[in-house]
Amino acid sequence: MSGRVALVTGGAGGIGTEISRKLAQEGYRVVVTCAPVFECPNLEEWKRLRKEEGMDIPVYEADVADFESCKAAVEQIEREVGPVEILVNCAGITRDSTLKRMTPQQWNEVIDTNLNSVFNMTKQVFTGMTDRGYGRIVNISSINGRKGQFGQANYSAAKAGMHGFTMAIAQEGVSKGVTVNTISPGYIGTEMVKKIPEEVLKKIVAQIPVGRLGKPEEIARVVAFLVHEESAFITGANIDINGGQFIH
């Protein structure tokens, strides 16, 4: 796809890896950011696996919760690789707890990493996109931002906020060739979901009509669809991918 630069935050995580692989396979120049290296112990292994698959994907450090860190990373990426034309905001965390037990730290970490991150990253690339007249932004939200989830007041608030951001920025980009969309995955089989206690997860899977967890590839293919040049008429939308767990 004409070698456009695609930046995927959290691009070495469970869903991010499949998004990165899919976009690289489709001919984008993919660049991944991950949290500062001490949190990425498997990074060298990740790069080696991509090389084996014929993909040379540079990885830059950026703490998405920190505006200055995002600014420095994007400046470096644009200097070394080129202007970012596609941004996938995929980095995220959970700090699950009932509200009764939730600490301000658990609240703030999730809001900073899952919602403020979207401002921190998009702010670095949006003006360049509108000035050049082309851009694609995809925000990875969640089913739990759509319906709320017991034990996830922080996460549900942040993920719902992401789509508010999408709808606002979509209006600012629409006449300048920049589309902004949200994807709301259901429960996908990654490390994030593996942290849920087994008994609790069993009950959740029983509520998924398709009868299983989703696969990261099932998210990646929709990202590829949305960032395609021919998807220019889709903006401000939310796409649910949840095996029928929440139909609205």
Nearer to ligand CAA, 51 or 194 (CB): 194
The CA distance from 44 to 185, in Å, is: 28
Whether residue 28 lies in the annotated active site = no
Distance of CA 16 to the CA centre of its chain: 7
Burial call 87-117: b when 16+ CB within 10 Å, e when fewer: bbbbbbbbbbeeeeebeeebbebbbbbbbbb
Q: Which residues contact 135 (CB under 8 A, 6 or more apart)?
A: 85, 86, 87, 125, 126, 128, 129, 173, 176, 177, 178, 179
Which of ligand NAP, ligand CAA, none lies near 16, with the C-beta cut-off 5 to 8 A by kind?
Answer: ligand NAP
Cα dihedral 201, 189, 32, 61 sign: positive
Residue indicated by tokens 């905001």: 89
Per CB under 6 A, 23 contacts ligand NAP: no
Which of ligand CAA, ligand NAP, none lies near 151, with the C-beta cut-off 5 to 8 A by kind?
Answer: ligand CAA
Kindly tell me which residue out of 106, 114, 142, 181 binds ligand CAA, with binding defined by CB under 6 A.
142
Shortest spacing between CB 245 and ligand CAA, in angstroms: 9
Which of ligand CAA, ligand NAP, none lies near 170, with the C-beta cut-off 5 to 8 A by kind?
Answer: none
Binders of ligand CAA among 149-188, rule CB under 6 A? Answer: 149-152, 155, 187
Both tokens of residue 107? Answer: 């609240």
Both tokens of residue 247? Answer: 């139909």
Task: Let me know: does 241 contact 223? Beta carbons within 8 Å.
Answer: no
Shortest spacing between CB 166 and ligand CAA, in angstroms: 16
Q: Which stretch binds ligand NAP (CB under 6 A): 14-22, 76-84, 127-135, 221-229?
A: 14-22
Per CB under 6 A, 222 contacts ligand CAA: no
Per CB under 6 A, 90 contacts ligand NAP: yes
Cβ neighbours around 234 below 10 Å, total: 16
Nearer to ligand CAA, 54 or 211 (CB): 211
Site map for ligand NAP, 154-193, x if CB under 6 A?
-------------------------------x-xx-xxxx
In Å, how far are 197, 210, 245 from 91, measured between CA atoms? 22, 26, 23
Chain residues binding ligand CAA by CB under 6 A are 94, 96-98, 142-144, 149-152, 155, 187, 192-193, 196-197, 200, 204
Residues noted as catalytic = 155
